[in-house]
Amino acid sequence: MALEACALAAPLAGGLVLSWALEACLSLRPRPPWRRPASAVILHAGLWMCAFALAWALARRPYFAAALALAGAGLIVVVNNAKYQALREPFVWADFEYFTDALRHPRLYLPFLGPWRALGAAAGAGAALASGLMLEEPESSWAGAMAVGFGGAVMAVAAGRRQVRVTFDARKDLRRLGLAMALWRYAGSERQAQEPPATPFSAPPPQRPPVLPDLVSVQSESFFDPRGCYPQVRPELLAAFDALCAQACAHGPLRVASWGANTVRTEFAFLSGLDAGRQGVHRYQPYRRLARSGLASLAGYLRELGYRTVCVHPYHGSFYGRDRVLPLLGFDEFIDISAFEGGAPGHPYVGDREVAAWVIELLGRERTGPLYVHVITMENHGPLHWERVDAGDAAAVCREPLPEDCRDLVAYCRHLRNADAMFGMLASALAASPRPAGLCLYGDHVPIMPGVYRRLGAPSGETDYVIWRPDGPAGAPPAAPLAASDLGPAFMAHMGLMSAP
């Protein structure tokens, strides 16, 4: 027994040390273990023992088990670093959901992992598998594995019960606590039952106006105005958007809670009126739990006023669970990709012009009551670096040549032209309608264009918004910064459906 314990000590303890060395390879490096709270160190060790024990029970080879557990940790490090490079944010507990999403929707995720990271992860896993099977003989290990796993579980649970403060700022928490404790505390916080928070839409609507306007809000994928950052872009690129801003009730930069992806964060902020602070841990993926808790929303508020509420998203309805969540947020009907014929010409996603035509047809149908349509577009979704552009594309959107590594900007602006056409189509249809109407447009986040940002500079991370109505002011108001969580209430206020915030 003593000999077995000595033989086990090397892979168990050595693997634990190597797991901390792997953690130090994170793009945002945590403090060394001796500078963390003791409970964070004990939790890390306990979870490592559990992972080692499980791998040992399956593989019956202790060194091979350590290699398998390290390979799993290494995969999280690789994914974290890819996410941090593209989105400027470390891996959080809610991101485990995206492992299955990556299998169902690989185009939305795998291109950002990069071929070298993918090959490195595959090569490391293959080497661990081959060496473990060839260099180590199997041996019975159930009792030992159970003992190690039980000991690790006791350590992890005891350490995890200690009250360790978290801010839900993923960067700060990762640096201070390390990856294991940050994930553990986020997971526990997410599971805690709580009453749905009050939102700006919790109050009952005011007295119903005599005529309710038709309303359309558009969350335009990756939309922001690039002309301020990149003077190479043609000024007429967003002509329809400029015209709306010139006659807007309000317009300006929009503060959003994500960079490059995580559309549902801005989407939920707009529909709920809750900022990141009030969302707590749910800010990273509010549709997992918070959006299902029965809180009041913009769509529900309008439904109480007598609106029929429709959400249009030309992608798979199961993505982010929208087909289940959006009805809980007050939408009478959710329209997904099944209502459309396919992607835009030369592009895998449904085009913005086609979405606009569909919404215009919906607005024109015979009905007796007001209609609210919330649109979540897809055309400008990346990976932009997978798209082909030629000299004609560049000349159409840029007034001077771009560096070769900035072709993503050409692809992006090519889609912005279609987004701008969508804005103009919707505004024209609403202006021609016999009913009063209102339109709100905004971007969910800036696009992922790392080559462009390295060469030409990065934007602030803010997107743009505009609130417009056909009978709005004749002169352009000054640009007014706004948070995404304040945009929905502001839209309602400018349409006369809510008191001004």
Give, in order, the Cα–Cα distances in Å from 371 to each of 203, 359, 360, 374, 491: 21, 11, 12, 10, 15
Do 57 and 163 sit in the same domain of this protein? yes
pTM of the predicted model as reported, rounded to 2 decimal places:
0.92
Residue 268 CB contacts under 8 Å (≥ 6 apart), including other chains: 274, 279, 286, 287, 290, 291
Segment 341-367, tens digit of pLDDT = 765 556 789 999 999 999 999 999 989
Does pLDDT of 144 surpass 90? no
Domain range spanning residue 313? Answer: 214-494
Q: Which of 158, 191, 224 is the last residue of a domain?
A: 191
Percent of the chain scoring above 90 in pLDDT: 71
Based on the fold, state whether residues 159 and 301 are members of the same structural domain: no
180 with 40: CB under 8 angstroms? yes
Contact 220, 359 (CB under 8 A): no
318 and 385: one domain? yes
CATH code, domain with 291: 3.40.720.10
Note every long-range contact of 423-428, with CB atoms under 8 Å and residues 24 or more positions apart, other chains counting.
423/218, 423/240, 423/241, 423/244, 424/239, 424/240, 424/243, 425/353, 425/356, 425/357, 425/360, 426/216, 426/218, 426/356, 426/359, 426/360, 427/240, 427/243, 427/244, 427/468, 427/470
For the chain, what is the domain count?
2
DSSP string, 238-301: GHHHHHHHHT-SEEEEEE-S-SSS-HHHHHHHHHH---HHHHGGGGG-TTTTGGGS----HHHH
- pLDDT tier, 253 (very low <50, low <70, confident <90, very high otherwise): very high
Q: How far apart are CA 234 and CA 238, in angstroms?
A: 9
Strand 463-468 and strand 437-443: pairing?
Answer: antiparallel
Lowest mean pLDDT among 135-139, 142-146, 159-163, 298-302: 135-139
CA dihedral 19, 25, 26, 31 (to 10 degrees): 70
Residue type, 454: R
348, part of any domain: yes
CA–CA separation, 149 vs 131, rounded Å?
A: 24
Residue 203 in domain: no
Shared domain check, 127 and 276: no
pLDDT digits (tens, 9 = 90+) for 72-95: 898 899 889 989 988 999 999 999
For position 62, what pLDDT does the model report? Answer: 85
233 has which bridge partners?
A: 398
Q: Is 114 part of any domain?
A: yes
Q: Determine the average pLDDT of the residues in 224-244.
A: 96
Q: Are strands 308-312 and 333-335 parallel, antiparallel or unpaired?
A: parallel
d(CA 214, CA 438): 6
Does any domain span residue 419? Answer: yes
Q: Is residue 204 part of a domain?
A: no
Vertex 141 angle, CA 139 and 143, to 5°? 150
| Same domain flag for 269 and 320 | yes
Report CA-CA distances (Å) from 440 to 128, 203, 232, 381, 469. 53, 22, 28, 20, 9
Q: pLDDT category, 3, cuts 50, 70, 90?
A: very low
Average pLDDT, the chain: 90
Q: Residue 16: inside a domain, yes or no? A: yes
Q: Measuring CA to CA, which residue among 425, 472, 492, 415 is closest to residue 224?
A: 415
CA gap 31, 181 in Å, rounded: 12
62 with 148, same domain: the answer is yes
Q: Is there a domain that residue 205 lies in? A: no
Residues 182 and 293 in one domain: no
Instruction: Tell me: do 298 and 443 sit in the same domain.
Output: yes
Within this chain, do residues 182 and 281 fall inside the same structural domain, yes or no?
A: no
**Token pair 């119903």: residue:** 208
Same domain, 168 and 283: no
Same domain, 221 and 121: no
Q: Angle at Cα 104 formed by Cα 101 and Cα 107, nearest 5°?
A: 90
φ, ψ for residue 307 (rounded to 5)?
Answer: -80, 150
What is the pLDDT, as a whole number, of residue 342?
A: 61
Q: Which two tokens stand for residue 28?
A: 């945002």
What pLDDT band is residue 241 in, cutting at 50, 70 and 90?
A: very high
Q: How confident is the model at residue 297 (pLDDT cuts 50, 70, 90)?
A: very high
Does 359 fall in a domain? yes
Q: Is residue 340 located within the same domain as residue 484?
A: yes
pLDDT of 1 strictly over 50: no
Contact, 63 vs 9, CB < 8 A? Answer: no
Going by pLDDT thresholds of 50, 70 and 90, the confidence category of residue 114 is: low
pLDDT in tens, 429-486: 999 999 999 999 999 999 999 999 999 999 999 999 999 999 887 777 899 999 999 9
| Other Cβ atoms closer than 10 A to 157 | 11
